[in-house]
Structure formats: structure tokens, C-alpha cells
């Protein structure tokens, strides 16, 4: 005799019980249907018909129920989708019985109302038993786990599906040792309502009163229920009162299973800065990505790796990872192979500056869609290495663009930056030249080549957020270049969503820009990150102003003078039509620039960049800024801020 594992035995035993229950429900429903039809007194001449019909109905209905999965699932978790499946199964089963009677001319004289009553009774019985099972189980389970005796020390912000799922998780998991007092929700229509046995007891304005009266020690925020500003207020209140605050991402972001307390995490800066999610035209994106050969340069970088992850969801036929950093390429390849085992992936350890290698890769894989994310991006590093930055950002882009056109790429999307607007540094100027090259060449070809321009992304390699985190972990000080410096920010997934959307919207030569909202002061970022770490800015962690770095601007811009702004069908995306340039002039100038880089003539390189980008100018820090960057000016400013540390974000 084969010894089956205990879970398998239990599963088979459960299915046998469900089978028996379904058979009893079918018999009960048919007999009761006749009884109701004849006022609870079935005529004796109908009993032979009933006994002959029962085996047919049982076999047909059991077959349909089994085929539609009614023997699966756990009754303790029965939900609306389960009830809909039961309804469909019963409807199909009744139709099957009717078809049997019609085609085989059996049971003539059978009252038609019996079939309808049988359907209603069978459906009601199967639903009723499942719902009662869930109610009894949950009631008994809560008493056995002592849920009602636990102090109600948890408050949930929001009362939607995500919030209700957390209530269920807390009630069913005794290891959490928590009980929920209620929800707070700004939707006045929900006030006083009860969801999953827990009432809505106020709005966010009542948070302080509720917490102080009831000894709340944990506030869980359903992310979709609050705005970033409201979230900042909630986090600030919790920190002032020693209450733990956690956030649960939106239900659509949780793809690994049902909502669980395991997805609850501390509030992060990205949550406080986040905006409403971008609406994606998924069908259009799928149309140009699904089943296509796609190549991504800079595939292991912050933006490039996220492009890989999101593109892979659209099931391309082949994904080529073009990257010159070996270890990061190794990691992104392994991650993608684990998440998308059926996806064909080719890691290409390649450099965009190597013309021969670029030509070889494009000839071998013949990509249909190219996302160009490879670039040198750090402003201070670029200022001291201008030749290498020009080689990479300008001529590396030229190599990729030329190879794309040679292979008749259908869609080409270049990643650019707001630093390309009126650039004051080498990095911005080189990215602007790359924009010009992409903009002007597509007009004579069939490929759709566009540029996507956006600001800083939160958490990218070497950006301000990881730098601040490291400084805070070391106990400070946190260094900010200037108290008035601002930047536009977005999350990496948000930026990549824009990239994918723009790829299917452009006709060639456009620059796309996301409505990125208001710029954020970097010093405010530093202060909030210190607060999120549980410390006080200027008291426990110092913020020190070091002065603007070479090539750095106080304010980033999004438009160049002369660029025309046009709306698109997407409410968060705009198009900029740049001025026309002669393609021949552009080729001649880039040829001169290439010669200057080969001769390592830095002055000539900078001069040619200014010819290509007339708005490129050195960042001159004068007047008050010069005083601020002086040692005396910075010391005075730091002293003032220590005396007045609180700023309203």
C-alpha cells in the first residue's frame, strides 16, 4: 500500500466530503423542487419520474461542478467571485439537464417550473452552506484565539479593500497578537459603517483624539487612501507621539498573493513624495512590445534595469541586455531569468563607444525596439572628465542611433534629462547634443525615434537619496550644497512607465515630458529623511551646506526657449517640438567634435559643445551665491538654520 503524505490524504478526504455534499444538495434540491411545485405534497404518480430522473441529474451536475472547480478552494475564504462561479456552474448544469431531456425525449410531462425551482434551490443550498461554514469558523476561531480579549491597539487609515484585508489578516493570525480598534477615513459616506466587523470611527482629523483616548500603538496606512501630504502629517504625528506607523502598498502593487501583514513596511521617502499613478494605455504599449525583439542599453543601470523588468511583462520574443558593467549585468540577468523563465534573454557585455561591437550586436540580434538608457550622468564627475563624457553620451548615442537605423528599428526611445535644458555643465550639454542627433535624423527615415526627458529619479545609483541614507546611518552630518537648491523628482517605476508610453506615441523627432509637479527643495528631503530615521534634524543629525559644485544649477528647467508645447492624449505627457537643424550641419559639427576628442583637446571640445548647444553656458556663481559659497557665508547660514530648524514642507 502506498503511503500518501498527510496533506495529500487530507485534500483527497476533503474532496470526497465535498462530492458527497454536492450529491446530497442535488438530491435535496430536486425533491424539494417537486414538493414546492405541488404545495409540499408530491403526487404518487410522479415518484417513478423522480427516481428515474435523480441519477441523470446527479451525474450531469456532478460532472459540471467538478469541471468548473467547485471541489477546489476553501470554504473559509468564500467570496463574491466564488459565489459567481457557483452561479455559473448551476446555470450550466441546469441547461445540461434540459438539453438531455430535449434531445433524448425523456421525462415527458415534467413540469418546467421544477427545473427552475431545482436551479434556485441547488444554488441557494451550495451558497448557504459555504457562507454558514465561513461565519461559524471565523466566530469560533476568533474566540479560540482570544481575539476579543486582546487590547484594541491598531488603527487603520482607510477602509477600502486593502484595509479590510489587513483586518482579516490580523484577526486570523494569532501570532500578530493585535486587535483592530477601527478605521479612519475621510470619505464621509463611510462614517459609522462597519466593514469586516470593524467600524469607521472618524476621519484623519480625529487621529490625535482617537489615539490619545484608546492607547493606539500602531497605525497602518493603506497607501491608496491618502495623499503624500496627508501621509506626511500622519507620519509626523506618529513620530511625535511614539506611535509606530507602517504603510501597505496599493493592492495592484502586490502581485505575489493576497494582502498580508508581511507587505506592511515602514513609511519611506518615496511614499511621501509619490503622486497619483500614471494611467497607462496598456493595449498600445503591448502592441509595440509583445512578441518583438527588444534591445536595452544601460540594461543594468537604475533606469535600464527597471525598463527590463517592465518590458519583460509584455512578453517580447527576445530581450537583449546591452551593458558594459559585468557584475550588474550578471545580477539583472539572473533576476529576469528567475521572474520570467520563459523569456529569451541575451546578456551582451558591450560598450556603446565601441562601433564595431555595436554593429556586431545589432547585426546579430536585429532588434525591432531599442531603449537607449546608457549614459554618464554624474555632474561633478563629468566636469573633470569631459572627454570621456562626450565619447559616451554623444558618440555612444550616435553609434546606437546609426546602428538602429541601419537595422530599420521600428521604435527608438532615448532617455534624456532636464539637465539638457539650458545646460550649465558638460553632462547636460552632451545629453542635449544627443537629443539633437535623435531628433533630426528620424525625419528622413521610417523609424520612429523619440526622446523622453525627465528629472531626477528617487533611489538611482549615486543619487542624493542613497547618499543621504548613508550619511544618516553614520550619524551625520548630511551635506546639502545650497539651502535653495531644488530638483524635480519621480520614482523609477513612474519614469519607466513614461518611457514605455512615449515609445508608442511618437511619430519621430519629438521630445516627451512628464508633468512632474512642483520641484522639491533638497534640504527638505534631507530633513524628512532624518525624521523618518527617528531623529531630529539640526539637533541629532546636522545638515551642513557645502556650496554649489562645478556645473551645478540652483533650479532645473524643463523647457528651452523656442520649444513649442503641445498636449497629447495622455494627461500627464506633453510634447516639445524643437527647432529644426540641418542634418548636414549636425554631422559636420559632430565630426569636428569627434576629432577634438581624439586629440584630447578639452578647450576645443567645450567650444564645439557651445556651437552645437548655443544655450550652454558655464555656471557663474556671483553676488550672494558667491558669498554663500564662501566659508564665512556657509558658516553663517548653518548657524541661522540651527536656530530655526523647523521648516514647513
pLDDT at position 442 is: 55
Distance from C-alpha of 402 to C-alpha of 406, rounded to nearest angstrom: 6
Measured CA to CA in angstroms, residue 192 lies from 187, 201, 220, 525 at distances of 11, 6, 19, 38
Q: Which residues pair with 487 in a beta bridge?
A: 520
Out of 60-64, 367-371, 452-456, least confident range: 452-456
Same domain, 432 and 462: yes
Same domain, 289 and 356: yes
302 within a domain of the structure (yes/no): yes
Measured CA to CA in angstroms, residue 371 lies from 299, 340, 411 at distances of 9, 19, 8
Distance from C-alpha of 54 to C-alpha of 60, rounded to nearest angstrom: 10
What's the DSSP call for residue 394? Answer: I
515 within a domain of the structure (yes/no): yes
The two beta strands, 152-157 and 218-222, are parallel
Distance from C-alpha of 409 to C-alpha of 421, rounded to nearest angstrom: 28
Most confident listed range (20-24, 216-220, 346-350, 418-422): 346-350
Same domain, 465 and 596: yes
205 within a domain of the structure (yes/no): yes
101 within a domain of the structure (yes/no): yes
- Average confidence (pLDDT) over 148-175: 72
Out of 353-357, 397-401, 546-550, 584-588, least confident range: 546-550
DSSP letters, 429-465, are HHHHHHHHHHHHGGGGSSSEEEEEEE-EEET-TTSHH
Quick: pLDDT tens for 411-422. 899 988 878 778
250 within a domain of the structure (yes/no): yes
Distance from C-alpha of 621 to C-alpha of 301, rounded to nearest angstrom: 32
Quick: pLDDT tens for 27-56. 888 888 888 888 878 888 878 888 888 888
Same domain, 17 and 97: yes
Same domain, 449 and 570: yes
pLDDT at position 186 is: 82
pLDDT at position 372 is: 94
Confidence check: pLDDT of 399 > 70:
yes
- Average confidence (pLDDT) over 50-68: 86
Assess contact for 308 and 336: CB atoms under 8 A. Answer: yes
Max distance between CA atoms of the chain, in angstroms, equals: 110
For residue 110, how far is the Cα from the chain centroid? 57
Residues of the chain with pLDDT > 90: what percent?
A: 14
Decide if 572 is catalytic. no
Confidence check: pLDDT of 439 > 50:
yes
The position carrying cell 494605455 is 281
Angle at 29 between CA 25 and CA 32, to 5 degrees: 135
Distance from C-alpha of 466 to C-alpha of 457, rounded to nearest angstrom: 11
Neighbours of 69 (CB within 10 A): 11
| Nearest alpha-carbon partner for 532 in 521, 522, 541, 545 | 541
- Average confidence (pLDDT) over 379-398: 90
**Which H/E stretch holds residue 201?**
strand 198-202
Same domain, 70 and 119: yes
pLDDT at position 107 is: 66
pLDDT at position 580 is: 61
**Which H/E stretch holds residue 154?**
strand 152-157
Same domain, 412 and 539: yes
Same domain, 126 and 174: no
Confidence check: pLDDT of 219 > 50:
yes
Confidence check: pLDDT of 497 > 70:
yes
Measured CA to CA in angstroms, residue 180 lies from 150, 216, 218, 587 at distances of 9, 9, 9, 68
**Which H/E stretch holds residue 565?**
strand 564-567
3-state helix, strand, coil in the chain (%, to 5): 55, 15, 30
In the three-class reduction of DSSP (H, G, I as helix; E, B as strand; rest coil), residue 141 is classed as helix
Distance from C-alpha of 380 to C-alpha of 552, rounded to nearest angstrom: 8
Residue at a domain's end among 267, 297, 327: 267
Model confidence band, residue 352 (pLDDT cutoffs 50, 70, 90): very high
pLDDT at position 215 is: 77
Helix, strand counts (H, E) of the chain:
23, 22
| Nearest alpha-carbon partner for 523 in 578, 474, 468 | 468
Residue at a domain's end among 96, 124, 143: 143
Q: Which residues pair with 318 in a beta bridge?
A: 293
Assess contact for 403 and 374: CB atoms under 8 A. Answer: no
| Nearest alpha-carbon partner for 53 in 101, 103, 19 | 101
| Nearest alpha-carbon partner for 171 in 129, 139, 193, 199 | 139
| Nearest alpha-carbon partner for 433 in 417, 411, 412, 454 | 417
Q: Which residues pair with 293 in a beta bridge?
A: 318
Mapping DSSP onto H, E and C, the string for 75-113 reads: HHHCCHHHHHHHHHHHHHHHHHHHHHHHHCCCCCCCCHH
Quick: pLDDT tens for 609-644. 888 888 887 653 333 334 444 444 445 444 444 444
In the three-class reduction of DSSP (H, G, I as helix; E, B as strand; rest coil), residue 256 is classed as coil
258 within a domain of the structure (yes/no): yes
pLDDT at position 428 is: 86
- Average confidence (pLDDT) over 558-571: 55
273 within a domain of the structure (yes/no): no
For residue 260, how far is the Cα from the chain centroid? 18
pLDDT at position 502 is: 76
Confidence check: pLDDT of 473 > 70:
yes
531 within a domain of the structure (yes/no): yes
Assess contact for 420 and 453: CB atoms under 8 A. Answer: yes
Mean pLDDT of the chain: 76
pLDDT at position 86 is: 85
Q: Which residues pair with 234 in a beta bridge?
A: none
- 524 or 374: which leads in pLDDT: 374
Same domain, 257 and 298: no
Structural domain harbouring 200: 150-267
And the C-alpha cell for 171? 484577526
Distance from C-alpha of 486 to C-alpha of 518, rounded to nearest angstrom: 10
Angle of helix 583-598 relative to helix 426-440, nearest 10 degrees?
A: 140
Model confidence band, residue 225 (pLDDT cutoffs 50, 70, 90): low
- 78 or 229: which leads in pLDDT: 229
And the C-alpha cell for 585? 550641419
Model confidence band, residue 353 (pLDDT cutoffs 50, 70, 90): very high
Quick: pLDDT tens for 103-141. 876 666 678 888 888 889 888 888 888 777 776 666 665
pLDDT at position 231 is: 78
Contacts of 272 (CB under 8 A, 6+ apart): 228, 231, 232, 235, 528, 532
The enclosing domain of 576 has a CATH number of 3.40.50.720
pLDDT at position 282 is: 72
Same domain, 538 and 432: yes
Choice among 178, 292, 419, 572 that is catalytic: 419
And the C-alpha cell for 489? 523628482
Same domain, 490 and 368: yes
Distance from C-alpha of 244 to C-alpha of 428, rounded to nearest angstrom: 43
Assess contact for 465 and 431: CB atoms under 8 A. Answer: no
Q: Please report the sign of the dihedral spanned by the C-alpha atoms of residue 121, residue 127, residue 128, residue 129.
A: positive
Confidence check: pLDDT of 333 > 70:
yes
Buried b (16+ CB within 10 A) or exposed e, 467-501: ebbebbeeebbbbbbbbebbbbbbbbbbbbbbbbb
Measured CA to CA in angstroms, residue 609 lies from 116, 613, 629 at distances of 82, 6, 27
Distance from C-alpha of 364 to C-alpha of 555, rounded to nearest angstrom: 44
Confidence check: pLDDT of 488 > 90:
no
Quick: pLDDT tens for 172-215. 666 666 778 888 888 888 887 878 778 888 888 888 888 888 77
Confidence check: pLDDT of 254 > 50:
no
And the C-alpha cell for 405? 537605423
pLDDT at position 256 is: 41
Evaluate if pTM is beyond 0.95: no
What's the DSSP call for residue 487? Answer: E
Model confidence band, residue 9 (pLDDT cutoffs 50, 70, 90): very low
What's the DSSP call for residue 393? Answer: I
Contacts of 103 (CB under 8 A, 6+ apart): none
* CB-neighbour burial class of residue 554 (10 A; exposed 0-12, middle 13-18, buried 19+): middle
The position carrying cell 434540491 is 29
pLDDT at position 181 is: 81
Quick: pLDDT tens for 443-465. 555 678 888 887 766 655 556 77
pLDDT at position 649 is: 39
Q: What is the count of structural domains for the chain?
A: 3
Same domain, 213 and 349: no
Amino acid at each position: 500500500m502506498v503511503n500518501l503524505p498527510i496533506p495529500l490524504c487530507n485534500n483527497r478526504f476533503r474532496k470526497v466530503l465535498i462530492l458527497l455534499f454536492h450529491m446530497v444538495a442535488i438530491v435535496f434540491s430536486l425533491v424539494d423542487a417537486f414538493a414546492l411545485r405541488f404545495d409540499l405534497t408530491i403526487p404518487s404518480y410522479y415518484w417513478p419520474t423522480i427516481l428515474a430522473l435523480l441519477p441523470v441529474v446527479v451525474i450531469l451536475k456532478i460532472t459540471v461542478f467538478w469541471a468548473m472547480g467547485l471541489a477546489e478552494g476553501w470554504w473559509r475564504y468564500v467570496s463574491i467571485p466564488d459565489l459567481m462561479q457557483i452561479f455559473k456552474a448551476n446555470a450550466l448544469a441546469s441547461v445540461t439537464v434540459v438539453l438531455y431531456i430535449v434531445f433524448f425525449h425523456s421525462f415527458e410531462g415534467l413540469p418546467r417550473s421544477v427545473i427552475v425551482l431545482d436551479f434556485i434551490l441547488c444554488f441557494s443550498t451550495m451558497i448557504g452552506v459555504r457562507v454558514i461554514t465561513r461565519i461559524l469558523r471565523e466566530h469560533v476561531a476568533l474566540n479560540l484565539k482570544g481575539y476579543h480579549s486582546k487590547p484594541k491597539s491598531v488603527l487603520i487609515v482607510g477602509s477600502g479593500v486593502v484595509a479590510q484585508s489587513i483586518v482579516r489578516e490580523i484577526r486570523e493570525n494569532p501570532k500578530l497578537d493585535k486587535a483592530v480598534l477601527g478605521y479612519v477615513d475621510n470619505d464621509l459616506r463611510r462614517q459609522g459603517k462597519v466593514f469586516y466587523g470593524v467600524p469607521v470611527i472618524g476621519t484623519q482629523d480625529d487621529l490625535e483624539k482617537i489615539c490619545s483616548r484608546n492607547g493606539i500603538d500602531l497605525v497602518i496606512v493603506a497607501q491608496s487612501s491618502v495623499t503624500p501630504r496627508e501621509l506626511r502629517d500622519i507620519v509626523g504625528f506618529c513620530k511625535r507621539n511614539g506611535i509606530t506607523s507602517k504603510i501597505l502598498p496599493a493592492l495592484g502593487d502586490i502581485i505575489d498573493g493576497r494582502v498580508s501583514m508581511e507587505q506592511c513596511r515602514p513609511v519611506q521617502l518615496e511614499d511621501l513624495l509619490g503622486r497619483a499613478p500614471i494611467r497607462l494605455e496598456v493595449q498600445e504599449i503591448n502592441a509595440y512590445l509583445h512578441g518583438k525583439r527588444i534591445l536595452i542599453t544601460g540594461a543594468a543601470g537604475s533606469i535600464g534595469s527597471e525598463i527590463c523588468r517592465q518590458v519583460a511583462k509584455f512578453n517580447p520574443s527576445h530581450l537583449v541586455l546591452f551593458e558594459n558593467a559585468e557584475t550588474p549585468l550578471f545580477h539583472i540577468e539572473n533576476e529576469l531569468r528567475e521572474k520570467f523563465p520563459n523569456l529569451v534573454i541575451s546578456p551582451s557585455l558591450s560598450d556603446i563607444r565601441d562601433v564595431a561591437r555595436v554593429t556586431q550586436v545589432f547585426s546579430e540580434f536585429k532588434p525591432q525596439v531599442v531603449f537607449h538608457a546608457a549614459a554618464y550622468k554624474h555632474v561633478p564627475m563629468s566636469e573633470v572628465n569631459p572627454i570621456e563624457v562626450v565619447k559616451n553620451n554623444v558618440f555612444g548615442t550616435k553609434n546606437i542611433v546609426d546602428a538602429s537605423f541601419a537595422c530599420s528599428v521600428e521604435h527608438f526611445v532615448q532617455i534624456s534629462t532636464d539637465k539638457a535644458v539650458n545646460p550649465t555643465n558638460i553632462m547636460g550639454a552632451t545629453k542635449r547634443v544627443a537629443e539633437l542627433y535623435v531628433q533630426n535624423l528620424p525625419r528622413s527615415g521610417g523609424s520612429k525615434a523619440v526622446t523622453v526627458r525627465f528629472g531626477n529619479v528617487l533611489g538611482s545609483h549615486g543619487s542624493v537619496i542613497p547618499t543621504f541614507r548613508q550619511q544618516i546611518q553614520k550619524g551625520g552630518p548630511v551635506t546639502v550644497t545650497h539651502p535653495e537648491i531644488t530638483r524635480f523628482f519621480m520614482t523609477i517605476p513612474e519614469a519607466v512607465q513614461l518611457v514605455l508610453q512615449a515609445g508608442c506615441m511618437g511619430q519621430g523627432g519629438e521630445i516627451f515630458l512628464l508633468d512632474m509637479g512642483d520641484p522639491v527643495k533638497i534640504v527638505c528631503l534631507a530633513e524628512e529623511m532624518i525624521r523618518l530615521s527617528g531623529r531630529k534634524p539640526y539637533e541629532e543629525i546636522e545638515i551642513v551646506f557645502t556650496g554649489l559644485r562645478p556645473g551645478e544649477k540652483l533650479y532645473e528647467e524643463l523647457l528651452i526657449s523656442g520649444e513649442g508645447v503641445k498636449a497629447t492624449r495622455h494627461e500627464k505627457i506633453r510634447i516639445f517640438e524643437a527647432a529644426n537643424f540641418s542634418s548636414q550641419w549636425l554631422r559636420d559639427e559632430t565630426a569636428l567634435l569627434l576629432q577634438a576628442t581624439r586629440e584630447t583637446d578639452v578647450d576645443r571640445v567645450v567650444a564645439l559643445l557651445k556651437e552645437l548647444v548655443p544655450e550652454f553656458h558655464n555656471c557663474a556663481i556671483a553676488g550672494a551665491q558667491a558669498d554663500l559659497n564662501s566659508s564665512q557665508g556657509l558658516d553663517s547660514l548653518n548657524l541661522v538654520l540651527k536656530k530655526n530648524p523647523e521648516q514647513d514642507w
